[in-house]
Amino acid sequence: MSSELSARRLSWMLPMVGLLVALVWLGSLDRYVSARYHLSLEAALPEPMTKRLFAVSRWLDAHGRDQEPAFRLAWPGAASERPLESRDAQPAVPEPPKWEALPDALTTGAFLPSLAPQKLAPGPQRILFAGDSMMQGVAPLVMRQWSQQHPDWQMRDLSRQSTGLTVKRYFDWPAKIIEEMDAQGLTLVVIFMGPNDPWDMLVDGQRHVFPSSGWAYHYALRVDEILAAAAQRQVRVVWLGLPSMREGRVKDGASLINQVVHARVKAWGADYLATEPLIGVLSEPFKKFKPDEQGQILNLRAEDGVHLTPTGLRLIQQALQSHIDQAVVQP
């Protein structure tokens, strides 16, 4: 009798557990499909039950699941003590982006070089790390190292997987970065994103097909949203270029994104850090392994052909730290 009762309990408990798990991960699945395929599960599935399920999923998201990165240093609530009028003079505003045609592909072996680091204001830095899963691998390594070298610096890792500049419905990076600049008195924003972006872009109800000059133009405008706000607030920006990618659409997207970002970063006088010479050049065939200076073969790429192994992440970490160390003005 007891075994029969236990079986009955199990028969209704398992569906309940399955429903709870589905609710917890429903938002994540919708965000992935939205970023990857520009589809909304909430809009595609039948009503009214769907709206109720998504409402419960959003409530679960809002109450503590996976909202903050696991590794974080102290972050002050007050804005920067230095008033805006005391900072350096603002740079000239560049011409708006123009993309009548897509840029020509680079010749084999060529890549867009890093741009010389701009100087940071002396004193403790307040740094925001923004980006997708590419940044999720790099930021904790940099923060851990800098927390030892610069204990008076405050740093925050806001990176989120399956995000980018193409889709704003789930996560609006320009708006979020500007919000953080104003709330936290940032001195530096480091950005590393792009593999989720080579998909059609919807702007004011109009679809801009990837790749097209319209897509490049509107992508440049979203890059400009961040760079213009940073220039106005005297916040430095270091934008990491994407390394080689294996899959065709992501590879083509990385090439175009690098060209758009490099052009706009240069126009605004911000920093561009090329990762291609470290990891792999986009204009060459994809390689998972690369010899170091001593001839030792290094495994730099994950099996998906997009993400990086710990060895690859450390190479970018070291390059980023060196780049910014050159920009720090010693008192």
Residue type, 125: Q
Round to whole Å and give the CA distance between 128 and 119: 17
Cα–Cα distance list, 223 to 195, 200, 227, 237, 260 (Å): 15, 16, 6, 11, 8
What's residue 72's pLDDT? 31
Round to whole Å and give the CA distance between 97 and 184: 29
Q: How confident is the model at residue 260 (pLDDT cuts 50, 70, 90)?
A: very high
Describe the strand order of the beta sheet including 154-157 as a list of residue ranges.
154-157, 126-131, 188-192, 236-240, 271-273
Round to whole Å and give the CA distance between 199 and 215: 9
**Choice among 23-27, 151-155, 213-217, 287-291 with the minimum mean pLDDT:** 23-27
Number of Cβ within a 10 Å radius of residue 60: 17
Q: Quick one: average pLDDT of 25-47? A: 51
Give percent of the chain with pLDDT exceeding 90.
60
Alpha helices in the chain (DSSP H): 2-37, 41-44, 49-62, 133-149, 173-184, 213-233, 248-268, 276-279, 310-327
pLDDT tens readout for residues 152-177: 999 999 999 999 999 988 899 999 99
What's residue 98's pLDDT? 86
Round to whole Å and give the CA distance between 177 and 113: 25
pLDDT tens readout for residues 62-118: 444 333 333 333 333 333 333 333 334 445 688 889 888 999 989 999 999 999 888
Q: Answer whether residue 263 shows pLDDT above 90.
A: yes
What's residue 83's pLDDT? 34
Cα radius of gyration (the chain): 22
For residues 135 and 129, is the Cβ–Cβ distance under 8 A? Answer: yes
State the angle between helix axes of 49-62 and 2-37 in degrees (0 to 180), rounded to the nearest 10. Answer: 90
Q: Answer whether residue 22 shows pLDDT above 60.
A: no
The residue ranking higher by pLDDT, 109 or 17, is 109
What's residue 34's pLDDT? 47
Considering 55-64, 163-172, 187-196, the range whose residues carry the highest mean pLDDT is 187-196
User: Which strand (E) or helix (H) includes residue 299?
Assistant: strand 297-299
Q: What is the pTM of this model?
A: 0.76
The residue ranking higher by pLDDT, 9 or 98, is 98
What's residue 121's pLDDT? 84
Round to whole Å and give the CA distance between 258 and 102: 12
For residues 36 and 198, is the Cβ–Cβ distance under 8 A? Answer: no
**Choice among 7-11, 75-79, 185-189, 311-315 with the minimum mean pLDDT:** 75-79
Q: How confident is the model at residue 55 (pLDDT cuts 50, 70, 90)?
A: low
The residue ranking higher by pLDDT, 224 or 90, is 224
Round to whole Å and give the CA distance between 96 and 222: 11
What's residue 118's pLDDT? 86
Q: Answer whether residue 292 shows pLDDT above 90.
A: no
Q: What is the mean pLDDT of the chain?
A: 81
Domains and CATH numbers, the chain: 1-67 (no CATH), 95-327 (3.40.50.1110)
User: Residue 10 contacts by C-beta under 8 Å, 6 or more apart in sequence?
Assistant: none
Round to whole Å and give the CA distance between 319 and 298: 17
* Tokens, residue 37: 């395929």
Q: Is 176 exposed, middle or buried (0-12, 13-18, 19+ CB in 10 A)?
A: middle
Q: How confident is the model at residue 14 (pLDDT cuts 50, 70, 90)?
A: low
- Three-class SS state of 244: coil
Round to whole Å and give the CA distance between 65 and 57: 10
What's residue 10's pLDDT? 55
What's residue 100's pLDDT? 87
What's residue 16's pLDDT? 61
What's residue 330's pLDDT? 72
